[in-house]
Amino acid sequence: MEKVILSGMRPTGPLHIGHLFGALKNWKKLQDEGYKCFYMIADYHALSTDYANTEDIKNYVEEIAIDFISSGLDPEKSTIFIQSLVPEHTELHLIFSMIIPIPYLERNPVYKEQREEIKDKDLNTYGFLGYPVLQAADILIYKAEFVPIGIDQLPHLELTREIARKFNSLYGQTFPEPQAILTETPKIPGTDGRKMSKSYNNAIYLKDSPEIIKEKVSKMFTDPKRIYKNDPGHPETCPVFSYHKIFNEKKVAEIEIDCKGAKIGCTDCKKQLGEKLIEYLEEIRIKREKLGKNKGKLIEILVEGSKKARETSIKTINEVKEKIGFIYGR
Ligand code: TRP
Ligand code: SF4
């Protein structure tokens, strides 16, 4: 049987080049290697932290779908869908909520960390505590064996495995214990050298126009020890240089030498980077423009993908109900 992959993202904002290297490129690779891939826009999960602000969700769902497809996810090869259009996720979530012990959720490090860090949102809800239970349902409703995720998501996957084990031991072998696919990805810092994030205002988005990219690159932080052009630079501490390593591979060795030898100025160095970055994102930008012009078609793709996802999810939910001993069938 073909190996099933599932992953997803919450529609909480447009995707940036960190997402491209951290997730999307890997998702595309798995798709092209012939896995049976399900890629989901997790709109219910977006509610878990932002239930009071839903006015942007529709727009973010569309933007993320455009980002997915223009980065190379192909709706003909992968099933690209919206979580809330596949109601079996919520049914399985309810069933899992019956068997997951509350202490497992309360000691989840992601939960504890976010409770500490996020102060501007109400996280005191049942849905937020149960976030990983819904994630387990997302994965297991397709019996996915592999889940490409970032390291930060490993505790959630561990809970998925525990839920699968417990279900299987209670009602009979039904679910695989899925494994993570962690990718070795180059770390792309934000334009200020910190972690790239929407909330730090330091991200370069897939949707950014060439003008905006130029502007953002021109304002990037550089080696703080290099004050005058004659000062030798330290490329290893410079975010601009981290970008050259990724987007300007051919010239990176030369730039390193010239920076250390104070032969190139930072303005010039950034200008070169801006051009490379614009060139690199050109293909995505062209596809984005095309997709953005036909929102009707885009929604159709997502509705179709969700229908296709349901073909699998209905089978699983029926099997689950049968195993539990319910009357089932549709
Ligand atoms: N929790 C994931 C994130 O924040 C998103 C997500 C929801 C997900 N359901 C999933 C990822 C299932 C992998 C599998 O990035
Ligand atoms: Fe960074 Fe380039 Fe300036 Fe060197 S020349 S400090 S690599 S921006």
Do 182 and 101 lie in a common domain?
yes
pLDDT confidence of residue 272: 97
pLDDT band for position 92 (cuts 50, 70, 90):
very high
Q: How far is the centre of ligand 2, averaged over its atoms, from the C-alpha of 222 (Å)? A: 6
pLDDT band for position 189 (cuts 50, 70, 90):
very high
Do 263 and 302 lie in a common domain?
no
pLDDT band for position 323 (cuts 50, 70, 90):
very high
Residue type, 316: T
Distance CA 27, CA 97 (A): 29
CB of 273 within 6 A of ligand 2: the answer is no
Q: Whose CA is nearest to atom 5 of ligand 2?
A: 266
pLDDT band for position 186 (cuts 50, 70, 90):
confident
pLDDT band for position 214 (cuts 50, 70, 90):
very high
Do 285 and 302 lie in a common domain?
no
The candidate with the shortest Cα–Cα distance to 35, out of 4, 70, 63, 69, is: 4
pLDDT tens-digit readout, 11-42: 999 999 999 999 999 999 999 999 999 999 99
Do 25 and 136 lie in a common domain?
yes
**Counted domains in the chain:** 2
Q: Whose CA is nearest to atom 8 of ligand 1?
A: 8
CATH number (domain holding residue 277): 1.10.240.10
Helices (H), 100-181: 102-106, 109-117, 126-129, 131-140, 154-171
Q: With respect to residue 134, please indicate whether it lies within any of the assigned structural domains.
A: yes
pLDDT tens-digit readout, 121-161: 999 999 999 999 999 999 999 999 999 999 999 999 999 99
CB of 208 within 6 A of ligand 2: the answer is no
The Cα-based distances of 193 to 189, 200, 237, 242, 258 in angstroms read 5, 11, 9, 9, 21
Total length of the chain: 330
pLDDT mean across residues, the chain = 96
Q: With respect to residue 329, please indicate whether it lies within any of the assigned structural domains.
A: no
